[in-house]
Structure 1
Amino acid sequence: MSMLNILLLFQDTAAVEGDMGMLWMLLSGILVFFMQAGFTLVESGMTRSKNAVNIAMKNFLDICVGSITFWLVGYSLMYGETSNGWFFWGGFMQGEGADLFFQTMFAATAATIVSGAIAGRTKYTTYIIFSLLMTAVIYPISGGWQWQGDGWLTNLGFIDFAGSSIVHSVGGWAALVAAFMVGPRIGKYVDGKVLPIPGHNQILATLGVFILWLGWFGFNGGSQLAWGGDDATGASTVVLITNLAAAAGGLGALITTWIWYGKPNLAQSLNGALAGLVSITAGCGNMTATGALLAGLIGGIIVVFSIEFIEKKLKIDDAIGAVSVHGVCGAWGTLVIGLWGVDGDTGIGLFNGGGAAQLGAQAIGVLAYAVWAILLSAIVLGILKATLGLRVTEEEEIKGLDISEHGSIAYPGKRVREFEE
């Protein structure tokens, strides 16, 4: 074979690999898009039936608003050469469309995390504005600190492969601020006691978790930005690592609730699987299978105690445990890289020969994303509270947001008479 033929063959192979990479990113983005359906089912199933339409409308809004605002503003703020960005109106370079679509789904996810925490008592109009600002400004700017390629956290050596902090903690800490500022649902805290407000359909919630679990294979696997790679970072390995952590997280929460409550709790076990997924999202490209299993298992245990602490000690009403799943376990998933993360065959964590340097970088990143999300969310929500207001009236909350905010109901057979009146 001549040298020219060898060069042409090499070019053809590189082109095929490039096309396969873009195809994998596109398919991964579609899987992440499908996660919006999972969030809708989880949030509605874990809350009261009278707010199911409102939950669906918020998730529907997030993907609509997020798709436009991230295309218009957010993508450039996140990936612009100056880190401050410019409006992304000028068309696309080759391959940029697939990347924009994939990253858009991440922006919508960050906004959606807030939805479930403040379910059942928040004005739809104010949520619209917050979702817009989250996808256009709050998430993109902080995401650029690491994923832009030359951000200050990148230069520090911080690792967040698919967004435990960049996506999930930012959404989780924003949810914490929102739940605190909106206040608890009526009937949650009575005479100093914490009263349970169970969700209306745990089967819907279970189906939602399975959908999210499936979508996460695209969330983490697509963050490889190509299908290929060596055995440590190839997309197929990332997907395997992700699945192991999810399974371990679900078992961790199941066993913890069985011991603590006397019986295995479904809602907490479902959150445990999600906690396992969040716990491996940062390190899915820098973790062995055993390390991923342990990270997910601990995440599943953490989420149970975190939900109890936030609800009973802090007296913050997070309707579905979003702060614990995404904020707390997002922080844990970021830090664990500094404990037993790897870079190929080399340990970079404190417990596997890497020293404390990586743990220090991870801790700085965790703190930076927490401060950013809490501060910006507090400013935005504070302005909204002083102007439009955050919360519906007591009468509207009791009646249900489906009727008061949208004039429709999810289950007409149950409440036709009330709706007509």
Structure 2
Amino acid sequence: MNDTVSQVQGAVQTLTQSSDTLFLLLGAIMVFLMHAGFAFLEVGTVRKKNQVNALVKIFTDFGISTIAYFFFGYWIAYGANFFADAATLSQGNGYELVKFFFLLTFAAAIPAIVSGGIAERARFYPILIATFFTVGLVYPLFEGMIWNGNFGLQAWFESQFGYAFHDFAGSVVVHGVGGWIALVAVIFLGMRNGRIRAGKHTNFAPSNIPFLALGAWILCVGWFGFNVMSAQTLNGISGLVAMNSLMAMVGGIIAALIAGKNDPGFIHNGPLAGLVAVCAGSDLMHPLGALVTGVVAGVLFVWLFTHLQNKTKIDDVLGVWPLHGVCGAWGGVAAGIFGQTALGGLGGVSFIVQLMGTVTGIAIALIGGAIVYGSLHRLTGLRLTEEEEYNGADLSIHQISSMSDE
């Protein structure tokens, strides 16, 4: 009898482990696919002479990110490495290996975010070096503090305010950090040539709206893996996360439609703003709270992107600082508002902690970004020459155009 019970329990445990591994693997694949979304969103936005570079940057950034996160980033964040033998690594159906893959796709989003801001005038290899250090050192520093309790920050929040900083799927940890690092890189690079003409700002129109839209659609679909599968186990999956992601996405669409006055670029970035913002509190909010979160994010993106392009010298090509940096920060704070039981949320969150945790993430991103990009700016230079920029990154860096001459 005892042997039968043990066999049943063992079979259930094996089934649970294999199911969780498959669940997380599917999530990793969905988020990996989002990098195609980043690529096509950038391809559709930049001028034709920079389209090849956009595609190549996203792919090579992922490769460099994998090496940096495998050898350094994952160890810094979680204190784990992969230097055991294969038999040990494959225990539990290799769940820990798939977990690394899943979290790597989050980490690699940092340079993918930065790529959109610095497009059309950045040198190739210095940016890859920056990718190595941001993914290998800067990002995992904050990731480990929030998602693994490193350095006692979360314990201090709990002891002082009763709650830890809550960021379920990375509004601040991923998007906020990536967006604020991008702002630093954009400032170091300066404006693209030709942006100021006769003393006035000139905006470059997107080169390919269908590609831009394709990128947005891929990102929107993949985001449900990004958010829902952040539970990391089948037992933890929540339909509330899916519903809140949907409502925030729709809120961003509607807000961008109205605030952006039917502009297709805004309409396709609006849902992304809403999804960025809802990541943190998607497991806590009431769907109406998620809708409001998405609406605010959509308006924030349109207003800030318009202001940046027409009123400042910050030349953020895809608007990644408003989209990821500011909307990510708003998401961290919004979790502390709409996660409250008084507003229909599940509770277990503190507004002041959310505010403090968000500010901490911004500070680490700004300081880390300044060290990485500032050092490379002085040592190697970050920007193409004026002639290379005029010819376009495709020909200057890759010696090929996206369009055939035939």
TM-score of the aligned structures, taking structure 2 as reference length: 0.91
Task: Tell me which residue corresponds to 2:250.
Answer: 247
Matched, 1:300 2:307: no
Supply the AA of the counterpart residue of 1:319: V
The answer as to whether partners of 1:213 and 1:274 remain within 8 angstroms in 2 is: yes
Q: Which residue is 2:140 aligned to?
A: 140
How big is each residue's C-alpha offset from its partner over 1:315-367, in whole Å with a ceiling of 9 and x where there is no partner?
Answer: 2000011111100000011100111115xxxx2x7x56999971111111111
Q: Which residue pairs with 2:368 in the alignment?
A: 376
Q: Secondary structure at the match of 2:260?
A: helix
Rate the CA distance shift 1:251–1:147 in 2: closer, same or farther, 3 A.
same
- Tell whether 2:344 aligns with 1:314: no
Distance in 2 separating the partners of 1:10 and 1:90:
28
CA RMSD of aligned residues (A): 2.1
**Secondary structure in structure 1 of the residue aligned to 2:350:** helix
The 3 A distance-change label for structure 1 pair 150 and 390 is closer
Answer whether contact 2:339 2:349 (CA < 8 A) is retained: no
Q: Does 1:257 align with 2:260?
A: yes
What corresponds to 2:183 in structure 1? 176
Greater mean deviation of Cα atoms: 123-132 or 287-296 = 287-296
> Superposed, which structure 2 residues align to 1:150-161 within 5 Å?
152-155=152-155, 156=157, 157-161=164-168
Q: Residues 148 and 180 (structure 1 numbering): CA distance in 2 closer, same or farther, change over 3 Å?
A: same
> Partner of 1:118 in structure 2?
118
Deviation at 1:248, TM superposition (A): 1.5
- The 2-side partners of 1:408 and 1:317 are apart by 25
Name stretches of at least 5 consecutive residues in structure 2 with no aligned partner.
Answer: 158-163
Cα 1:151–1:246, aligned 2, differ >3 Å: closer, same or farther? farther
Partner of 1:393: 385
Contact 2:286–2:345 (CA under 8 A) maintained in structure 1: no
Answer yes or no: is 1:360 the counterpart of 2:352: yes
Query: Match for residue 104 of structure 1?
Result: 104
Which of 274, 279, 282 matches 2:280? 282
Inter-CA distance 26–385: structure 2 relative to 1 (3 Å threshold): same
1:336 aligns with 2:339: no
| Per-residue deviation, 1:6 | 5.5
CA distance in 2, matches of 1:110, 1:214: 19
**Distance of aligned partners of 1:162 and 1:353 in 2 relative to their CA distance in 1, 3 Å threshold:** closer
Give the letter aligned to residue 21 of structure 1.
D
User: Could you say which residue in structure 1 is the equivalent of 2:321?
Assistant: 323
* Structure 1 residue 314, shift from structure 2 partner: 3.4
Question: Partners of 1:69 and 1:165 in 2: how far apart?
Answer: 21
Residue number among 202, 214, 225 corresponding to 2:221 in the alignment:
214
Query: Aligned partners of 1:356, 1:11: CA distance in 2, in Å?
Result: 35
* Structure 1 unpaired stretches of 5+: 259-263, 417-421
Match of 2:161 in 1: none
Q: Which moved more, 1:123-132 or 1:7-16?
A: 7-16
Distance 1:151 1:217 in 2: 31
Encode CA deviations 1:13-44: one digit per residue, 9 max, x unaligned: 34323321221110000011111111110011
Secondary structure at the counterpart of residue 266 of structure 2: helix
State the one-letter code of the partner of 2:383: R
Residues 73 and 88, structure 1, Cα contact 8 Å, conserved in 2: no
Give 1:77's aligned amino acid. Answer: I
Given the two structures, how large is their TM-score scaled by the length of structure 1? 0.88
Question: Is residue 271–residue 321 contact of structure 1 (8 Å, CA) maintained in 2?
Answer: no
The residue matched to 1:102 in structure 2 has which SS?
A: helix
- Which amino acid in structure 1 is aligned with residue 257 of structure 2? L
CA-to-aligned-CA distance 1:103-127 (integer Å, 9 cap, x gap): 1111111111000101000100111
Aligned twin of 1:89? 83
Distance 1:355 1:149, change over 3 A: closer
Q: 1:25 is paired with a residue of what secondary structure?
A: helix
Q: 1:245 offset after TM fit, Å?
A: 1.2
CA separation in 2, counterparts of 1:371 and 1:307? Answer: 22
Tell me if 1:69 matches 2:51: no
Letter of the aligned partner of 1:215 in structure 2?
G
Contact 1:227 1:236 in 2 (8 A): no
Structure 1 residue 141, shift from structure 2 partner? 1.3
Mapped partners of 1:152, 1:193: distance in 2:
49
Give CA deviations for 1:40-92 in whole Å, capped at 9, x if unaligned.
10011011010011111110111111112211111111101xxxx7x543353
Residue 206 (structure 2) aligned to one of 199, 209, 230: 199
For the residues of structure 1 that align with 2:82 and 2:182, how far apart are their CA atoms?
A: 28
State the Cα distance separating 1:379 from its structure 2 match: 1.3
